[in-house]
Amino acid sequence: MTASLATSQAPAGRRRSTRRRLGPVGTSVLGAVIGLAFLIPLWWTVVNSLRPGDETFRYLNPLEWRTFFTLTPTLDNYFALLDTDLGRAILNSLFISLVTVVVGLVICATAAYGLSAFKFRGQGLVFSVIILSFLIPFDAIAIPLADMFRDWNLQNTFFGLILPGLGNGMAIFLLRTFFLAIPEELVEAARLDGLGPWGVFRRIYLPLSVPALIGAGLMLFLFQWQAYVWPLLMGTDRDHVVGPVALSNLQGQFAVDYGVLFAASVILILIPLAIIIGFQRYFIQSVSTTGLK
Amino acid sequence: MKRSRALLLAGVAASAVLLAGCSAPAHSGSAGDGSGTVRFLGPEDPATFAPVIAAFEAEHPDITIDYTQVPFDQYSSTLQQRLGAKDDTIDVYAVDQPNLSQLAAQGFLEDLSDLSDEAKAATSSAQFEINQYDGKMWALSVWNSTQMLFFNRDALAAAGVEAPTADPAARWTWEQTADAGRAAQAAGTQYGLLLEQVEAYYQLQPLAESLGGGSGITGDDMLTVDVTNDGWQQAMAWYGDTFESGLSPRGVGGFQTAPVFIDGNVAFFVGGPWDVGRFASDAKFDWGVAPMPYFEGGEVATPTGSWSWGVNTASKNKDAAREFIEFAALDPAGALATTEATTIIPSNTEAAAKYLPGLEELGGEHAAGVADLITYEIEETAVPRPVSVGYVQFESAMNTAFADIRNGSDPAARLEQATTQIQDAWKKLR
Amino acid sequence: MTTPTTRAGADPRARRAVRPAPPARPTRRGRRHPALIALAFLAPALIALLVLRLAPAAVALWDSLFRTSLLGGTQFVALGNYFELFGNPDFQNALLVTLVFTILINPLQVATAFLLAVLYTRKAAGSKIWRSLVILPIAVPPAVSAVIWSVIYRPDGLANAFLDLLGLPAQPFLTSPQQALASIMVLLSWIGVGYWMMFLIAGINDIPRSYYEAASLDGASAWRQLWTITFPLVRRPLAFVLVADTVSNLLVFAPVQILTKGGPEGSTNLLMYDIFTRAYTLGDLNTAQAEVVILVLITLVIVALQFRLLRSED
């Protein structure tokens, strides 16, 4: 297939192309196959969220069309969620995550700027501290941190749930990586135009790093969206319950209704999914395309 | 009109007096001086405790119960962390019975010894003993459990095997069960036998007990490991073989075992009372209930125990907290309300007697005899998990050992390794 | 790297943009007090990291020198917990498993993420949709991805059903000491590869088109362009991904906790899972903190090696 495509497209380099180049159709097919392979486990989950829980494991092996499809989809599992704390938990998680993303991006982006746009003594040390901060496993130091937070009376508060998400060394590291790629000439030109350090940050660095900012934002978002151990330590009364805790609460100690569990996870996946797809178009922007305008 | 309202009011007042009279013995300890909010932590869905909370609040208008659920898989560790930090936002909490001594030893449980007499009268001796540590009583038993042998009658019929009955006198042996399971496999059923909690000490302890292996913990201080004796080795060799031979499936974990039975893929399934309602609504074949088997020539032993409730020593509202747990454990009406929205057995003997016929009814014709069977097992054959401050470490090491034996590790060597692991962990307790 | 840069000489700003930082960058200095201005920008983050990460880590380090027993009290044992750990066969095994895991999974994931990033930045139909599907698993709650993969890996599960379809024999997956760790790696790659790919896509999109056009005129094959243009020019994002991926993989424990509990035969007993069980299940906080210190040191060494390796490639 690649051979025929290559001939029609580039007769001069035929030999080379047949061997080494995948035509656009070949690329599309390969891309689609891989994408769909990644989707299979989730597709199975979605299908089973539309089925009664006692049928979850019925069509596993041997494979048949019913493994991945159902002719009688039902929303019962989703309606069952209305009686749980999941709705409240999703709103709480969304609030916590959004505040974390907004505040966290400001903190991390300014830090990355301070680290990449200036040269000063001790820079290496500061960078090492930031690297060290994300080598420390958060779940392992959560116990001493929770003791500190209890002294400050932060149990069962949104503040106590949001705070740990703000210090994200990995997001700073990511932003620094991309900030270093910003052309000096642009910065110099902006300086000549009279922009101060803050102006350079706002007018040059931020607009030129949209993909990296999205990446860092997603990192901050997922830290909170999937937070589980920390909220349990901080206390999760009904007003402060978060998504993953509500999800685990659906698993009773004697039995799990996988239909309901999968329905809840589909809902929990939808929000990050919307974010990932919604921000896809900004990924095309880059230093080379936006920076030269 | 006015007259009828007055009558109604009088009626309400009278019944209130009556109710108060009924429950008076249960409350003699604390004279009903509690009020305010009681914060209650447990691993169950809020709907499970809604009935008992509503019933309690109706009787105690001054007290509000504020329930928080913590996921079951993280419950013990969350509890350990928060109680360790003297968290006073917990007043009452559910205690997994084998963890009681560890919690009591750390001073996380209020001494309830003054209620001993009432507690003794209200429940079975095993359920009373389970709350004792160091000569004192630290919690009140609320729920109890047992295990039974569920079987797929259709699968057995296809193999020409006569099904067991619910009569404890006609209890099958494990050998007999395995043979019948193999016959069913030969006749087309995928698997012969499956235990619900395949890798859990709770369900596997009776195998060793039946062969005289004991609980695995001995000594005056209950900190001596004893899982390499003949009983344990034999039991684990048999257990490992059920997987090696294909009688039981490997790799099907935790909560995915009951669906194997529901889908008709296994002949025998060892499960709890909570499965009765579930199978009744989901299993589309003829099934039945029989007593949990024992080893030929061995003792009869069945799992037991569930949850007790205790009061946090750091609580600032202990009086009200005590009133609530007394209501749930000692007052038959309260105890019955704890099981209204779930299928588990109340520890309170009087409540259990009222509850079990309902459970049998829920199971329909398939569950005939289940009420008598459960009563018999709780009274006669129940063997509780050992009371030891080192239970948590013990159970954790044993459960990984069970998992390995299931996947083909040599039982004798693996039990030896578990012994070392437990001894290492226990060194830190002293 | 030299071929494309000379070719792209018409576009000097873009060329500098992607070049590694020159040794001295005087123009980048803030005019007067660069250190003060830089620190002002860094201050909020440094305070946050200090309070939320380093302070509790210091507490953990301090705690690791003590021993609190349930029935005794708390006593200072200096490095006692560390000595005990290194003498413990289970811990030695956990160390070994963690090292094998780290050495295998990181290069595999980064290479896959890179190749996928290249694939999905080519002109092709529906790229954006397909790559969204690859990124998607990162959004799945860990508890659920573990349930899904437990179903895939069951003896009668989806993976064996597919193998059966292809005429291959059934595999034991998580129940075999030989296959369990590899099975966990596949699961983690399903979750993580798309996520890391995303950052590489951002890096690849920063490479000016003109480089490729020039190279094509030169007659360089796509394969050659991949190694002479794309690879060197995403070096910095690649370095980020390698370090971040390594750290993330060293801190993973949820799938192990739900699927294998470290077994069979300790073959998936990753250090972070061991720490988690020790701290949360067994309540042996002091030893767990000693393990945390060891894990952080190991991570530090690996990350330092990676930085050095990437620097020497300059």
Query: How much is the pLDDT for C14?
Result: 39
Question: In this structure, are strands B148-152 and B287-291 parallel, antiparallel, or unpaired?
Answer: antiparallel
C153 touches chain B (CB under 8 A): yes
Residues of chain A positioned with their CB less than 8 A from the CB of B42: none
Q: Domain with A104 in it: what CATH number? A: 1.10.3720.10
SS3 assignment, position C124: coil
C154, B409: Cβ pair inside 8 Å?
no
Question: In this structure, are strands B266-271 and B148-152 parallel, antiparallel, or unpaired?
Answer: antiparallel
Q: Contact, A174 vs A219, CB < 8 A?
A: yes
Neighbours of chain C (3+ CB pairs under 8 A): A, B
Per-residue tens of pLDDT for chain B, all 430 residues = 333 444 443 443 444 433 333 443 333 334 446 788 999 999 988 889 999 999 999 999 999 999 999 988 888 888 888 898 888 889 999 999 999 998 998 899 999 999 999 999 999 888 999 999 989 999 999 999 999 999 999 999 999 999 999 999 999 999 999 999 999 999 999 999 999 998 999 999 999 999 999 999 999 888 999 999 999 999 999 999 999 999 999 988 877 899 999 999 999 999 999 999 889 988 999 999 999 999 999 999 999 999 999 999 999 999 999 999 999 999 999 999 999 888 889 999 999 999 999 989 888 889 999 999 999 999 899 999 998 989 989 999 999 999 999 999 999 999 999 999 999 989 888 7
Q: Contact, B144 vs B304, CB < 8 A?
A: yes
Identify the weakest region by mean pLDDT among B14-28, C231-245, C298-312.
B14-28
Q: Is the pLDDT of residue C29 over 50?
A: no
Residue recorded with tokens 């894990």: C295
Region label for B188, one of left (φ > 0), alpha (ψ between -120 and 50) or beta (otherwise): left
CATH architecture of C2-7+85-312: Orthogonal Bundle (1.10)
C153, B251: Cβ pair inside 8 Å?
yes
* The two structure tokens encoding residue B144: 């109890």
Q: Is the pLDDT of residue C210 over 90?
A: no
A141, C53: Cβ pair inside 8 Å?
yes
A237, B66: Cβ pair inside 8 Å?
yes
pLDDT digits (tens, 9 = 90+) for C119-151: 998 877 788 888 889 999 998 888 888 888 988
Q: Contact, C276 vs A143, CB < 8 A?
A: no
CA distance C27 to A271: 43
C37, A118: Cβ pair inside 8 Å?
yes
Same domain, A33 and A127: no
Query: How much is the pLDDT for B255?
Result: 77
Same domain, A21 and A158: no
SS3 assignment, position B67: strand
Return phi, psi of residue A98, to 5°: -65, -45
CA distance B161 to A200: 84
pLDDT digits (tens, 9 = 90+) for A50-65: 988 888 888 877 788 8
Show me where the domains of chain B are located.
36-145+305-364, 148-303+387-427
Query: How much is the pLDDT for A64?
Result: 81
Please, what is the average pLDDT of chain C?
84
How would you class B21 by CB atoms within 10 Å of its CB: exposed for 0-12, middle for 13-18, buried for 19 or more? exposed
Contacts of C105 (CB under 8 A, 6+ apart): C185, C188, C189, C249
CA distance B194 to B257: 7
A232, B74: Cβ pair inside 8 Å?
yes
Q: Is the pLDDT of residue C23 over 50?
A: no
> Domain count of chain A?
2
Cα dihedral sign, C276-C280-C284-C285 = positive
Nearest CA distance, A140 vs chain B (angstrom): 13
Return phi, psi of residue B207, to 5°: -60, -50
Residues of chain B positioned with their CB less than 8 A from the CB of C156: 190, 249, 252
Q: Please calculate the CA angle C295-C299-C300 and round it to the nearest 5 degrees.
A: 115
> Regarding predicted confidence, which is higher, A238 or C54?
C54
CA distance A58 to B136: 50
B68, A237: Cβ pair inside 8 Å?
yes
Distance of CA B97 to the CA centre of its chain: 8
CATH architecture of B36-145+305-364: 3-Layer(aba) Sandwich (3.40)
Q: Of A56, A74, A92, which residue sits at a domain end? A: A74
Query: How much is the pLDDT for A251?
Result: 80
Share of chain A above pLDDT 70, in %: 89
Residues of chain C positioned with their CB less than 8 A from the CB of B251: 153-155, 157, 172-175
Query: How much is the pLDDT for B78?
Result: 86
Weakly modelled stretches of chain A, pLDDT under 70: 1-22, 283-293
Out of A45, A178, A248, name the one closest to residue C143 (CB): A248
Longest dimension (CA), chain A: 75
Show the beta-strand stretches assigned E in B198-333: 217-218, 224-225, 266-271, 287-291, 307-311
Buried b (16+ CB within 10 A) or exposed e, C55-84: ebbebbbebbbbbeebeeeeeebeebbbeb
Q: Chain A, 123-182: which have a CB under 8 Å from a chain B CB?
A: 143, 146-147, 150, 155-156
A197, C140: Cβ pair inside 8 Å?
no
B81 touches chain C (CB under 8 A): yes
Nearest CA distance, A265 vs chain B (angstrom): 16
CA distance B265 to B271: 15
Q: Contact, B76 vs C281, CB < 8 A?
A: yes
A133, C205: Cβ pair inside 8 Å?
no
Same domain, A249 and A266: yes
Closest residue of chain B to C89, computed from CA coordinates: B421
Range of the domain at A16: 2-74
Q: Of A37, A55, A74, which residue sits at a domain end? A: A74
SS3 assignment, position B290: strand
Show the beta-strand stretches assigned E in B23-135: 36-42, 63-69, 92-96, 132-133
User: Residue B195 pairs with which residues in a beta bridge?
Assistant: B270
Query: How much is the pLDDT for C143?
Result: 80
Q: Please calculate the CA angle B26-B29-B32 and round it to the nearest 5 degrees.
A: 80
Nearest CA distance, B393 vs chain C (angstrom): 6
Query: How much is the pLDDT for A273?
Result: 86
Residues of chain B positioned with their CB less than 8 A from the CB of A246: none
pLDDT digits (tens, 9 = 90+) for A99-128: 999 999 999 999 999 999 888 888 899 999
Residue by residue, what is the 3-state secondary structure of chain A?
CHHHHHHHHCCCCHHHHHHHCCCHHHHHHHHHHHHHHHHHHHHHHHHHHCCCHHHCCCCCCCCCHHHHCCCCCCCHHHHHHHHCCHHHHHHHHHHHHHHHHHHHHHHHHHHHHHHHCCCCCCHHHHHHHHHHHHHCCHHHHHHHHHHHHHHCCCCCCHHHHHHHHCCCHHHHHHHHHHHCCCCHHHHHHHHHCCCCHHHHHHHHHHHHCHHHHHHHHHHHHHHHHCCCHHHHHHCCCCCCCCHHHHHHHCCCCCCCCHHHHHHHHHHHHHHHHHHHHHCHHHHHCCHHHHCCC
Nearest CA distance, C222 vs chain A (angstrom): 6
Report the topology of domain B148-303+387-427.
Answer: D-Maltodextrin-Binding Protein; domain 2 (3.40.190)
Confidence class of residue C2 from pLDDT cuts 50, 70 and 90? very low
Same domain, A180 and A222: yes
A135, C45: Cβ pair inside 8 Å?
no
Q: Which residue from C308, C310, C312 is spatially nearest to C236, judged by alpha carbons?
A: C310
CA distance C69 to C65: 13
CA distance B103 to B389: 8
B381 touches chain C (CB under 8 A): no
A187, C120: Cβ pair inside 8 Å?
no
Nearest CA distance, B295 vs chain A (angstrom): 26
Closest residue of chain A to C293, computed from CA coordinates: A136
Q: Chain B, 205-264: which have a CB under 8 Å from a chain C CB?
A: 249-253, 256
Nearest CA distance, C111 vs chain A (angstrom): 15
C286 touches chain A (CB under 8 A): no
**Neighbouring C-beta atoms of residue A63, cutoff 10 Å:** 15
CA distance B94 to B75: 10
The pTM assigned to this predicted structure is 0.86
CA distance A206 to A113: 9
Residues of chain A positioned with their CB less than 8 A from the CB of C125: 24-25, 28
Query: How much is the pLDDT for A94?
Result: 93
B251, C262: Cβ pair inside 8 Å?
no
Show me where the domains of chain C are located.
2-7+85-312
Q: Chain C, 266-295: which have a CB under 8 Å from a chain B CB?
A: 277, 280-284, 287
Return phi, psi of residue B131, to 5°: -95, 5
* The two structure tokens encoding residue B177: 């069960």
